[in-house]
Chains A and B, each alone.
Chain A
């Protein structure tokens, strides 16, 4: 099972000190988080993509390329890559380049996560969100898998005799997760291709996560990629830890109460009950995370934690990542208990390369 951190890269005022970090500080801090995540033994670092303030990560491949040069083991991913408003040709090229530079340590999470005006800024219409995700991703897959592509669709100018460069490393395209909070269509898309499905598990309650993941698992089996319990499931969570539970709750309250994502709606306490917001002692976070198998309908492959954003200061985030390193050691052991042998791990470049080689040998016979 893979563990990691993910975030969307917002620039927000610290409600406790009133201090507003600069974009430059935030960008540099996030690189530091990625390096520390690797040092404490996490498997994945993922950063979002947005094209409007207060978010800074408009260029994930630039950011991840820099992180790739400063790390050795950690898998670099996105949370998410905007499959709706990006040109699929640019995604194919940008991430293949990153994959070479990072020696294969790359996967992607597709999402639609744009607000209304971002679509027209990129020449699109939010009402086409799902059709854009479907068409653009279908093209992206072909660009990575076929040497020469002839293509025509509804949303992009046609391609004749187009070869996307560089070709994916070892002829193996990066693994793709599809992220969606509320659209059953995206769970269906992930199932159709046998790709991964990640629910951020944060902005909607448990029952809803169960329904989304349940649909993905059933359809994964329907499309013949394996049994439902072999589907590749990822979940998110948000974490804030202190040695004592009460300290964690007290310290996190102002960040929660004043945040753009959470503030002024259901209380911190209610949100903790309903969703994967984990605020407490390390042991409490471990106990709650272990119950996520219930959300995921069984054993799953990837657990990401958000420790950054909503104004939490850099020093605190670094402390959270340190603590997460210890928490994850326990989680690895506990999640391994009773895990059926036929439930696969999350695909990596190495495992996909081995699978491709095995398939080629099979064909030769």
Chain B
């Protein structure tokens, strides 16, 4: 079966360690899913490219054509890999703006791998106190392993949790298995399938 993984990176610099982590996770997830017999497409979304559109969406209430295309990629994807840098103990504003303009049903029952980069390993719990509750609120299926990369991880990377490569592989494996056990997401459209008025009249 053909599967699509959407990858969202909220990194700001170029080159970006956040983007690098996103790429490593995407490669690993692709490999794991292939082993389960799927064909895999990866769609990478650099939020930096959509910064102005995100502000405009918040102010005007509707997305630009380009941003709507991005929403559709996420909606149709079998899974999402979401990676943000850590800013003042949380995801950055760009990342939150992206989440804020998503339809709040778009991630329902969708496997999501959360990951973050940060200036020190002491920020690693950002994944557990900021990202995981955010995606739980949106009813996403967040895989147990969340991947945090501190500067030292790009070196020898041996931490109490094992090396970064090991954590990436474990998280990607978890994501692939969640995708594999699901059908392709159905992307419902209220305009194609309106609630009949009799139901509304009856208070249903």
Is the pair B201, A138 in contact by a Cβ cutoff of 8 Å? Answer: yes
Of the listed stretches A46-54, A185-193, A347-355, name the one at the interface; the rest are far from the partner chain. A185-193
Is the pair B203, A265 in contact by a Cβ cutoff of 8 Å? Answer: no
Of the listed stretches B85-93, B159-167, B190-198, name the one at the interface; the rest are far from the partner chain. B190-198
- Is the C-beta of A215 less than 8 angstroms from some C-beta in chain B? yes
Closest to B194 in A: A188
Contacts of A205 in B (CB 8 A): 62, 65
Q: How far apart sit A134 and B62, CA to CA, in the bound complex (Å)?
A: 25
Closest to A153 in B: B203
Is the pair A265, B60 in contact by a Cβ cutoff of 8 Å? Answer: yes
- Is the C-beta of A226 less than 8 angstroms from some C-beta in chain B? no
- Is the C-beta of A203 less than 8 angstroms from some C-beta in chain B? yes
Is the pair B56, A266 in contact by a Cβ cutoff of 8 Å? Answer: yes
Q: Which of A189, A214, A270 contacts B197 (CB 8 A)?
A: A189
Q: How far apart sit A130 and B200, CA to CA, in the bound complex (Å)?
A: 9
B164-203 to A contact mask, C-beta < 8 Å, 1/0: 0000000000000000000000000011001111001101
- Is the C-beta of A211 less than 8 angstroms from some C-beta in chain B? yes
- Is the C-beta of B15 less than 8 angstroms from some C-beta in chain A? no
Interface residues of A in 138-165 (CB under 8 A from B): 138, 154
Q: Given A184-B194, A219-B194, A265-B55, check contact A134 B200 (CB 8 Å).
A: yes
Q: Given A134-B200, A203-B62, check contact A185 B191 (CB 8 Å).
A: no
Is the pair A185, B200 in contact by a Cβ cutoff of 8 Å? Answer: yes
- Is the C-beta of B64 less than 8 angstroms from some C-beta in chain A? yes
State the Cβ distance, B68 to closest chain A Cβ, in Å: 8
Closest to B190 in A: A184
Contacts of B197 in A (CB 8 A): 134, 188-189, 191-192, 223
- Is the C-beta of B137 less than 8 angstroms from some C-beta in chain A? no
Is the pair A203, B200 in contact by a Cβ cutoff of 8 Å? Answer: no
Contacts of A185 in B (CB 8 A): 194-195, 200
- Is the C-beta of A171 less than 8 angstroms from some C-beta in chain B? no
Interface residues of A in 255-270 (CB under 8 A from B): 262, 264-266, 270
Is the pair A215, B200 in contact by a Cβ cutoff of 8 Å? Answer: no
- Is the C-beta of A340 less than 8 angstroms from some C-beta in chain B? no
A-B contacts, 6 listed (Cβ < 8 Å): A131-B203, A188-B195, A203-B62, A208-B62, A214-B191, A266-B59
In the A-B complex, the 9 residue pairs with the smallest Cβ-Cβ separation, listed nearest first, are A265-B59, A192-B197, A265-B60, A266-B56, A184-B190, A211-B191, A134-B200, A204-B62, A188-B194
